[in-house]
Amino acid sequence: MKNILLSGFLSFLLAVPQLFSQNENAISNQVLIRMQMNQDPHTMLKNVPVHFELSVESMLSKHADIWLLNFNDTQTDLNEVLSILDRQSTILYAQPNRKVELRAAPNDPLFGSQWHHDNMDSQLAWDITTGGTTPNGKEIVVALIESADLMNHNDLQENQWVNTAEIPNNGIDDDGNGYIDDYNGWNVSSNNDNIGTGSHGTSCAGMMGAKGNNDLGVSGINWDLKIMDIAGYANPFTEANIVASYDYALNARLLWNQTNGAQGAFVVATSSSWGVDGGNPANYPIWCSFYDDLGQAGILSIGATTNQNQDVDTFGDVPTTCASEYMISVTASNSSDIIDFAGYGDQTIDVAAPGSSIYTTAQNNSYTSTSGTSFACPLTAGLIGLMYSIPCASLEQSAISSPASTADIVRQALFDGVDQTPHLQAKTITGGRINAKNSIDNLMAAICNSCMPPSTISTETVNDYGAEIIYNETDPINEYKVNIQVAGSGNWSNYTTSDTTYIFTGLTSCTTYEYSVSSICNGDFSNPSIINTFTTTGCGNCIDLPYCETGTLSNPASTLTVHSPTAISGSYTYQATTNFGGNVESGYVFGELVLVDDGSANSSRGCNLLINFADVSGNIAVVQRGGCNFTTKALNAQNAGATAVIVINNVAGTIDMAGTDINVTIPAVMISQADGNTLLASINNGDQPQALLGIQNEWIEEFQIAGNVFTSGDNNGYLFNDNSFVLNAGQNYPFTLTPGFDGQALDEYARIWIDLNQDGAFTSSELIYDQGAASSGIVNGNLIIPATATLGKTRMRIQMAYQGFGSSALPNVCNDFTSGEVEDYCLEIKSGIQCNLNITSTATNPTCNEVQDGTIVLNVSGGSPGYTFNWNNGMTSDNISNLNTNNYSVIIQDITGCDTTLYFPLSYDTQLSLSGTIIPPTCPDALDGSITTNATGGSNFNYQWNNGPNTNSWSNIGAGNYQVTATDIDGCKITESFKIIDPNVPVPNPNFTTDNFFLAIEFNNNSQNAISYEWDFDDGNTSTDFEPTHTYINEGVYNVCLTAFGTCDTIVKCKSITVEKNDVSLNNETLDLGINIYPNPASGVITIDRQNDAISNAVIYSANGKKVAELKLSTEKTQVSIHNWNSGIYFLHFMNKNEEFVFSKRLSVVK
């Protein structure tokens, strides 16, 4: 369940039927994986069985480490692959890639007006803002994850987002965002900006951002919104395409965040039409978890729930039941705020939005009335975009500095602004339908005068022991709090300043730090800014010096290249079959081209078992077309041991070879008749031509030296290992280098350089190993570290370069080359002299951030006295004090230059924590709430609330933000903020109907959410009964008022009722004389003595208006048992033979 704090698709939606297992609709040969951060799936692939033939199809999200993998489903099955992948420590999630289908639209009647703007107070919101940009002029963008005709529709084209940093159709990724020519948006299926003209997407776009106030057509909720169109509807619809679509929006927003709005796009929301009816989010961990990635970047994702009338709390739905707080799930309501066709769920569906019989844009530059949760979804997304345009510059500032927390605030303002109804309270989490004006008011109250952190923060200078940061001024502010820690340590230190610059001192060299900045506004603390990082210098020459860049380029394209003989060498055009066989682009095969021989008259067609299997085995088989099916040729070659098969066409050109056979696993390609004749001539001439088919890829798999084993695997051309190891000057070190290949072993050439004089360059004299001749196996060699080498940390570069066809010249030590890999290592060269130093040390941790009293005391003996001390915080004495938390190290050197290094990680001894118990006020705007706090980790705490008491609790307070600082006896402090939210107390809703029995009126109470009632009958009489019966003396029109008392509110509802006298011939007074009830009061049995035959039956009511019994008075005396009745007052209504009310009598029951 998603927790919501309250104060105060598509009529053509994407979905699938109820799933009976998580593998239903799975694509049989694909899986999705989410890697642990910065893990490479290519390395992981080496840990799975070879027969899986698992390969990387594509990276779906670089930021979230999500990848699409292919495997051979003829060799294994999906469950086996998932089972193995789930056991890989580098994989966070593994799941099938499934098809996703379009949901059916309900056949609701059309309603041809934009009634929804009246319902959600759009016009009142437009008095404040009509959307489009921030106060600083930045375009606000909502991503529509669906094809739409934005470019041709007159009411949409002005609001289409385009990537102005991209030059359209020049074939270049001008802005470097990883997408070529993404000017109009992106299509994840065709990998271009052909966003299409989708029909329902066009209608969705109109709901969020049809151009407003342009004397044309309709108006979206956001008049000037920029709509980023991401077409992700490839056939079939798959989760992989969904993730890739979201990733385009994520990358645009991340770039905007990282450049303070200078690049990328300010994407604040996505609107999605994909879904799985009946889906269980536990079966879609990658899809569902991606909403958290979007949210951390500041993007709220809006999803439309099912169009089926189902409780999705139990029925299920994806993505609207995904647990992410950044997924806003929306259902559709009609003009009466009723969910009349769509899904609902008070545990999973956040809000309702108009979506039944709405009027919006349509294809072919037209308009239409339609229904679906799909249209409620973009309407909500467009409102979020409108909210970001409020006239408060601090909102944009907050979106840059704290994108996720700002999205949280916007989301809460949206939820707090809903119009609640009893119907929607039972159907949704918030209990209401979105309201534009309320949401904007809420957001402005939360943001416009709030304390915000700086939005532009940068690291200006960094040295060995310090750094300077700068940040923009915020308003209103008094001071800033700067927070810093050794990255990942959890030991934050903070400092207060009134300047917009801060200089950190006393840092340690070669250490990565994280820092943030908070604003202090009249004693209130803002949320911290986003975390920035820097690394101090002093890491040694290996890192600090500007070594030249190197590495291999991306792998060459898939090719069929003949390497020898020279006369026919070069690339040949081929066409791979899409119907059977292995993937040509999954690695490569290399070997001799061998013409098959099946022993028949047409032996080179390979239609029978091959008799030259010894020659074919381990090589690439060549066959001629004709005589049998293509699959038969391929299977015979495979059974003879061929690594691939090349089919020579018998006419010009090539074709996609037909046929299917799941048993064929080797790649199968066709070449033209002319190219085939060239190859045949060489084969028949005995040239033994050698060729490579596929994508060549090789790397340094492992490097071993001096007991150190570095297994790195495929690193896409370059690896830098900054964890140094030690080699001694003047010594010889054997090493082994093991190459890795995506196919058969190829000839590689290894060389090694060491920057011996530590000047940041590799010279020819620093080439300390040269293999001399290329080889295809493990390289065994020796390194000699010259005795004259400069002692200290430096860099070693290992280059492994392919030597073969097209790569005969060895590459330079700098710059890129085509095939191979480079690995750089940090190396510390030492003298190798034994120092014989005896060192004892005592380290004392600092108490806390406010008491920085850490110390390190050294006692050194042995070696050659005359010791020097070089600490990584710049100090040079044997004992150092007044230390903060940090990772300290010292190099101790004797007079001969012999040295040793010691390390001292210090952390705070006192770790304070502060918890609080919040009792919210009983009612909105009430001042009877309280917060009670308790600090632990120290002793004798003093408490001080900001603008409040100096005790651990604060009572008689209302909704708002409260901050308290606890200080222990040592002076250590901890500050925490607490937020009190007004309770969500249902407002009473009085309502009643009447049953008229002439002067006697029975009142039926249909009220909700009340705890007590008071009736005013407008004749001087009142009642507090739930459903009273009142007898008027005179006929007339009475204005009866029912007052409903709720927990917090009192609501009055009045209705006019008409009371008329009974005009039957027998008057009440006469009849009354004919009825007697005794005993009265009574406790066990009563007798009704009827002396008048005109009275035929009686109805008995309790004092609260509930019917107790109905009696037929067939005899003069009727006895009634009242043993089981509770004590109290009861009313007997007597009726005549026409069942008309005549009069009533009162009975008192006493027990």
Alpha-carbon distance of 483 to 500, in angstroms, equals 14
pLDDT confidence of residue 700: 96
Contact 396, 310 (CB under 8 A): no
pLDDT at 19 over 50: no
How far apart, in whole angstroms, are the C-alpha atoms of residue 575 and residue 532?
Answer: 50
Nearest C-alpha neighbor of 1145 from the set 1061, 1059, 1031, 1066: 1031
Among 327, 375, 356, residue whose Cα is nearest residue 144: 375
How many residues can be counted in the chain?
1151
Q: Mean pLDDT across the stretch 274-291?
A: 87
Q: 1033 pLDDT exceeds 90? A: no
- Please report whether residue 452 resides in a domain: no
Is pLDDT above 50 for 106? Answer: no
Out of 432-446, 660-674, 849-863, 1101-1115, pick the least confident: 1101-1115
Look at residue 276 in the predicted model and tell me its pLDDT.
Answer: 82
883 belongs to a structural domain: yes
Is pLDDT at 619 greater than 90 in this prediction? yes
**Dihedral angle sign, alpha carbons of residues 385, 387, 391, 392:** negative
Residues 773 and 843 in one domain: no
Task: For residues 195 and 206, give the distance between their C-alpha atoms in angstroms, rounded to a whole number.
Answer: 16
Task: Examine residue 841 and state whether it is found in any structural domain, yes or no.
Answer: yes
In the sheet that holds 718-728, the strands lie side by side as 718-728, 820-830, 792-802, 748-754, 767-770
d(CA 101, CA 104): 9
Over residues 289-293, the mean pLDDT reads: 93
pLDDT confidence tier of residue 1104, bands split at 50, 70 and 90: low
Q: Do 241 and 379 fall into the same domain?
A: yes
- Tell whether the model's pLDDT for residue 607 goes beyond 90: yes
Rounded-to-integer distance, Cα 567 and Cα 601, Å? 30
For 225, the token pair is: 């919104």
Query: Stretch 729-738: mean pLDDT, rounded?
Result: 95
Residue 477's pLDDT band, with cuts at 50, 70 and 90, is low
Angle at 738 between CA 736 and CA 741, to 5 degrees: 170
Verify that 370 and 286 share a domain, yes or no. yes
Q: What does the pLDDT look like over 21-54, one tens digit per residue?
A: 445 677 888 988 888 777 888 878 877 887 888 8
**Residue entry with tokens 């450049």:** 259
Establish if 603 belongs to a structural domain. yes
* 17 pLDDT higher than 60: no
Sign of CA dihedral 868, 869, 875, 881: negative
Top pLDDT among 61 and 1031 is at 1031
Rounded to whole angstroms, how far apart are CA atoms 617 and 830? 52
In CATH, what number is assigned to the domain containing residue 1140? 2.60.40.3080
Whether 554 is in a domain gets the answer no
Question: What is d(CA 264, CA 948) in angstroms, rounded to the nearest whole number?
Answer: 44
DSSP-assigned states of every residue in 940-1008: S-EEEETTS-SSSEEEEE-SEEEEEEEE-TTS-EEEEEEEE----PPPPB--EEEEEETTEEEEEE--B
572, 560 contact by CB (below 8 A) = yes
Most confident range (mean pLDDT) of 109-113, 514-518, 720-724, 1123-1127 is: 514-518
Closest to 552 measured CA to CA, from 809, 803, 802 = 802
Q: What is the domain-level CATH number for residue 177?
A: 3.40.50.200
pLDDT value, residue 207: 95
In single-letter form, the type of residue at position 616 comes to V
Indicate whether 806 pLDDT > 90: no
Q: How many domains does the chain have?
A: 9
CA distance 275 to 305: 7
Q: What is the mean pLDDT of the chain?
A: 88
Q: Are residues 1040 and 1085 in the same domain?
A: no
- Cβ-count burial 993-1004 (b if 16+ within 10 Å, e if not): eeeebbbbbbbe
616 has pLDDT over 70:
yes
Residue 7 within a domain: no
Same domain, 298 and 160: yes
Q: What is the mean pLDDT of residues 983-1002?
A: 85
Whether residue 397 is found in the same domain as residue 251: yes
Termini Cα distance of the chain: 49
Together in a domain, 704 and 690:
no
Specify the CATH number for the domain of residue 894.
2.60.40
Mean pLDDT, range 112-122, rounded to an integer: 84
Task: Examine the domain organization and report whether 819 and 735 are in the same domain.
Answer: yes
Q: How does residue 671 score in pLDDT terms, banded at 50, 70 and 90?
A: very high
What lies within 8 Å, CB to CB, of 681 at 6+ separation is: none
CA 428/CA 981 separation, integer angstroms = 20
Query: Would 1047 be classed as within a structural domain?
Result: yes
Q: How far apart are CA 194 and CA 844, in angstroms?
A: 64
pLDDT interval class at 1108 (50, 70, 90): confident
Quickly list H helices, 967-1123.
1068-1072
Which residues are CB-contacts of 83 (< 8 A; sequence separation ≥ 6)?
none
* 107 within some domain: no
pLDDT at site 479: 87
32 with 240: CB under 8 angstroms?
yes
Q: Which residue has the tokens 């050197």?
A: 893
* 441 and 321 housed in the same domain: yes
- Strand partners for 960: 980
Tell me, what CATH number does 787's domain have?
Answer: 2.60.40.1930
For the domain that residue 649 is a member of, what is the CATH number? 3.50.30.30
Q: What is the pLDDT of residue 1105?
A: 60
- 436-466 as b/e: b if 16+ CB within 10 A: bbbbbbbbbebbeebbbbbbebebeebebbe
Residues 342 and 203 in one domain: yes
pLDDT at residue 1092 is higher than 60 = yes
Task: Answer with the one of 653, 671, 694 that is the final residue of a domain.
Answer: 694
Q: For residues 33 and 54, is the Cβ–Cβ distance under 8 A?
A: no
Average pLDDT (995-1002) is 84
pLDDT above 90: percentage of residues in the chain: 59
Task: Tell me what the mean pLDDT of segment 463-468 comes to.
Answer: 93
For 831, phi then psi, to 5°, come to: -75, -30
Residue predicted with more confidence, 521 or 968: 968
Q: Report DSSP state, residue 107.
A: -
Closest CA to 362 of 194, 162, 197: 197
Reported as a single tens digit per residue, the pLDDT across 889-929 is: 999 999 988 888 898 999 999 999 999 999 999 988 889 99
Domain boundary among 679, 694, 709: 694
Residues 141 and 213 in one domain: yes
Structure tokens at 562: 């003949």
236 pLDDT higher than 60? no
User: b/e per residue, 528-545, with b = 16+ CB within 10 A?
Assistant: bbbebebbbebbbbbbbb
Average pLDDT value for residue range 52-68: 80
Contact 95, 318 (CB under 8 A): no
Q: State the residue range of the domain holding 846.
A: 837-906
Q: What is the mean pLDDT of residues 974-1000?
A: 85
Asked if residue 101 has pLDDT above 70, the reply is: no
- pLDDT of amino acid 237: 64
Residue 1073's pLDDT band (boundaries 50, 70, 90)?
low
Beta bridge partners of residue 1012, listed in sequence order: 1045
Q: Is the pLDDT of residue 836 over 70?
A: yes
Last residue of a domain, one of 940, 957, 980: 980
Which CATH number fits the domain that encloses residue 1008?
2.60.40.10
Interval 126-163: pLDDT, tens: 888 999 999 888 999 999 998 999 999 999 999 999 99
Percent of the chain with pLDDT over 70: 94
Residues 326 and 218 in one domain: yes
State pLDDT tens for residues 296-307. 999 999 999 999
pLDDT value of residue 1039: 94
Gap between the Cα atoms of 298 and 257, Å rounded: 9
Q: What's the pLDDT score for residue 698?
A: 94
Q: Any idea what DSSP says for residue 254?
A: H
Q: Rounding to the nearest 10 degrees, give the CA dihedral for residues 27, 31, 34, 36.
A: 170
The SS3 of residue 608 is coil
Q: Distance (Å, rounded) from C-alpha 541 to C-alpha 554?
A: 29
Q: What are phi and psi of 295, to 5 degrees?
A: -65, -40
Distance CA(754)–CA(769), nearest Å, equals: 9
Residues contacting 1065, CB < 8 A, separation 6+? none
pLDDT at position 475 is 66
DSSP H or E stretch at residue 440:
helix 436-447
Long-range contacts (CB closer than 8 Å, 24 or more residues apart) made by 1093-1097: 1094/1066, 1094/1136, 1094/1137, 1094/1142, 1095/1071, 1095/1134, 1095/1135, 1095/1136, 1095/1142, 1096/1135, 1096/1136, 1096/1137, 1096/1139, 1097/1134, 1097/1135, 1097/1139
